[in-house]
Amino acid sequence: MKNNLLDTKDYIVFLIYFVIVAAYGLYIYNKKKSLSTGSQDYFLAEGSLTWWAIGASLIASNISAEQFIGMSGSGFKMGLAIATYEWMAAATLIVVAVFFIPVYLKNKISTMPQFLHQRYNGTVAMIMAVFWLLLYVVVNLTSILYLGALAVSSISGFSLEFCMYAIAIFAIVITLGGMKVIGYTDVIQVFFLILGGLATTYLALNLVSDHYGTKGIFEGYHLMTSKASEHFHMILKPENENYIDLPGLSVLVGGMWIVNLNYWGCNQYITQRALGADLKTARSGILFAAFLKLLMPIIVVLPGIAAYVLYKDGAFQAEMLQDGSVNPDRAYPVLLNLLPAGLKGLSFAALTAAVVASLAGKANSIATIFTLDIYKKVLKTDASEKNLVSTGKVAVVVAMILGVLIAPHLGIDKKGGFQYIQEYTGFVSPGIFAMFILGFFWKRTTSNAALFATVGGFGLSLLLKFLPGMTDLSWLSGMGFSIKNAAGIYEIPFLDRMGFVFLFCIIGMLIISLTENKNGVNPKGLEIDTKMFKTSTSFAVGALLILGLLVALYSIYW
């Protein structure tokens, strides 16, 4: 195996990527600077992003080191089933485009706390604003930063600390330009992300075919499906050791919908890209992102399965070990280090692009929530537009500094980035989603019901997490809702747990709202016009094509 150092050609390729992104970002910044200095323009790029910029920015913000490293590792460990996070996201994006975005745009929503303030009250909005800031800084920003630096360090040979500071500085420079610069530079980031990712997949498939004495990527793929047929099932059975992570049909009709709808529809970090556009542009951009989502497993899952096939047949025995045991998360870096000079630089650029774009998007969302929902509403209610933009820029720098200082002390690498993020956001996402969905579509929902979903949902999530240690849950195994873990204790799979908490929150909110609001009148209920949900013919055709492809994929790889 080659050492993990970059060749001169790799540095040249990476430098080209860096110069293109920096120059284009500067061009966009100077071009747009004279048009508007308002906070809405800075934070949301109001009316400036095209559909392709919105779609590319959604993907660039979403895909980061936890996908490249974590999902490839999951591909090595459990196979194609992990792709359900990507493919179900494509279906989710269509739901968000049709039903969620019209509500936000009609009510002129800029931030998620603003929606909660408008729909419920200031208490709910402020609690969630503080919560989202803590979550974005302590969980999301730190994990993206640390895992990204870890991956970049393993490929380049530079120290972890140097990589962390370099990535943070690069992300700050892009973020300070505002959402316009982020949105348009994300188009380039996605180009490098996909091109570099496909190069790694191409290498992985060729390695498999060469290993077995054949030629070509299609032959390599065919060999993978025959040598590791158990790795090509989307719906896992209870006897599968990975069932606890992806519990059978729950990925189609259960908790996976809550994970995705909360992430793509109720998340400042994501929805911010579309909130500054008109409805047609926003929907077209989201549909474009859904198409790109269908491609992601080719880039982030297939390399992991290829590494598994080769490992099973005697390759990479030493390289896959960490502390004496096999670490699936090493699959992607192992493959990257086998790339020829030049291509390795391209893949290195792809990984860096994914990390930097995610960091920039996250930092911009942190700045938006802090500036518009805390600073403007509490700390300085008479702040000028110029002052709001300046405050947002300071918030970006402070958030990134906090991320750099906190990240090394959280044990993110030991827990695994993907699991780290899911574990801590999963405690609150069912309650948040329940609060949003009833707030959208049921006018009688009250503020106390929303508070119940937030607090009660978190409490029940904690209870179900620790319940296996207090009582025997084997009686649920017959229904597929509990599975024996490595310690021999029956526990409820993560996705099923989220489904139970969501139903609990919905029932509780219904009871509280009906009790408090007996006359059915709520002045804060949103005005919903069914005409809002009507789509254009082109959008409908594109959505049906995506759904058709998803049906085909799940049918083929069931």
User: Read out DSSP for 270-323?
Assistant: HHTTTTTS-HHHHHHHHHHHHHHHHHHHHHHTHHHHHHHHHHHTTTTTTTTEET
* pLDDT of 544: 96
Low-confidence ranges of the chain (pLDDT < 50): 1-2, 415-416
Domains along the chain?
44-426+528-556 (1.20.1730.10)
- Considering only CA atoms, which of 345, 299, 356 is closest in space to residue 147? 356
8 Å CB contact between 84 and 344:
no
* pLDDT of 40: 61
Helix (H) or strand (E) holding 380: none
* Neighbouring residues of 386: CB distance < 8 A, sequence distance ≥ 6: 37
Helix (H) or strand (E) holding 482: none
Q: Going along 367-479, which residue ranges are E strands?
A: none
| Number of helices and strands in the chain (H, E) | 27, 4
**353-387 per-residue burial string, b: 16 or more CB within 10 A, e: under 16:** bbbbbbbbbbbbbbbbbbbbbbbbbeeeeebeeee
* pLDDT of 550: 94
The two structure tokens encoding residue 238: 């209870």
The two structure tokens encoding residue 160: 């972890």
* pLDDT of 2: 45
pLDDT digits (tens, 9 = 90+) for 11-62: 888 888 888 887 877 777 777 665 555 666 666 555 567 888 888 878 877 7
Q: What is the DSSP secondary structure assignment for residue 481, as one 8-state letter?
A: S
* pLDDT of 323: 65
* pLDDT of 552: 95
* pLDDT of 10: 85
What long-range pairs does 519-525 form, CB within 8 A, spacing at least 24? 520/443, 520/444, 522/443, 522/444, 522/445, 522/446, 524/118, 524/119, 524/120, 524/121, 524/447, 525/119, 525/442, 525/443, 525/444, 525/445
* Amino acid identity at 127: I
Q: What is the pTM of this model?
A: 0.83
- Considering only CA atoms, which of 83, 61, 89, 59 is closest in space to residue 71? 83
User: Which residues are paired to 322 by β-bridges?
Assistant: 325
* pLDDT of 242: 79
